[in-house]
């Protein structure tokens, strides 16, 4: 499969948030400011790519040869949680500035279903390791695009006059729905 097709599909046509409906919790919770959305995107991209590599290797070298495919989900969850903890420890020692910059985003990634979803989709789509890494990185870019667009719109909504009953979560959900419909326009692209 062409890497360009994987990239375009993961970013636009099959966006992890709007088309796969994965990662909705950070999408709604961390999207009040563009700066926090960008920080979350960087952390998600790093962990998503690393988790995809490790889970792919575990799937192909342990689970498939031993016929333990039924343990895929639980083993992937354990791997992702362990990776996030390992990344947190290493960053704290190696780069305290980056650790401080990511702050609360690293522990939040442990419960981000988009990470698990991309790892599972990599196996389901039967990608090889390089295609899986490209897919994971492009999915992270798609996640970042969605959350950054939404954060920008939410910042703008704070500046306009909105009826009292629509402020906050109601208008945010309406905007999210409109964004999802806009991304549906990319469905036939690839």
Residue bearing the bigger pLDDT, 9 or 106: 9
* Cα–Cα dist 142/153, whole Å: 17
What are the structure tokens assigned to 69, written together? 């495919």
Half-sphere exposure of 33 (CA within 13 A, CB side): 3
* Contact yes or no for 155/28 (Cβ under 8 A): no
CB-based contacts of 21, cutoff 8 Å, min separation 6: none
For residue 102, pLDDT beyond 80: no
| Residue 43: predicted pLDDT | 83
First to last CA, the chain: 12
Model confidence over 116-175: pLDDT tens digits?
999 999 999 999 999 999 999 999 999 999 999 999 999 999 899 999 999 989 999 999
- Residue 23 sits at φ, ψ, to 5 deg, of 80, 25
């Amino acid at each position: 499969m062409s890497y360009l097709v994987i990239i375009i599909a993961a970013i636009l046509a099959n966006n992890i948030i709007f088309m796969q409906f994965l990662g909705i919790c950070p999408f709604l919770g961390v999207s009040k400011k563009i700066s926090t959305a960008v920080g979350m995107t960087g952390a998600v991209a790093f962990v998503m790519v690393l988790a995809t590599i490790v889970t792919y290797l575990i799937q192909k070298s342990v689970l498939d040869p031993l016929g333990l495919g039924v343990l895929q989900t639980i083993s992937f969850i354990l791997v992702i949680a362990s990776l996030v903890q390992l990344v947190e420890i290493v960053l704290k020692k190696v780069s305290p500035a980056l650790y401080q910059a990511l702050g609360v985003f690293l522990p939040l990634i442990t419960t981000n279903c988009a990470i698990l979803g991309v790892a599972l989709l990599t196996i389901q789509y039967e990608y090889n390791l390089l295609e899986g890494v490209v897919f994971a990185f492009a999915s992270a870019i798609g996640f970042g695009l969605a959350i950054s667009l939404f954060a920008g719109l939410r910042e703008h909504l704070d500046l306009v006059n909105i009826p009292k009953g629509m402020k906050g979560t109601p208008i945010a959900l309406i905007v999210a729905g409109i964004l999802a419909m806009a991304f549906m326009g990319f469905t036939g692209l690839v």
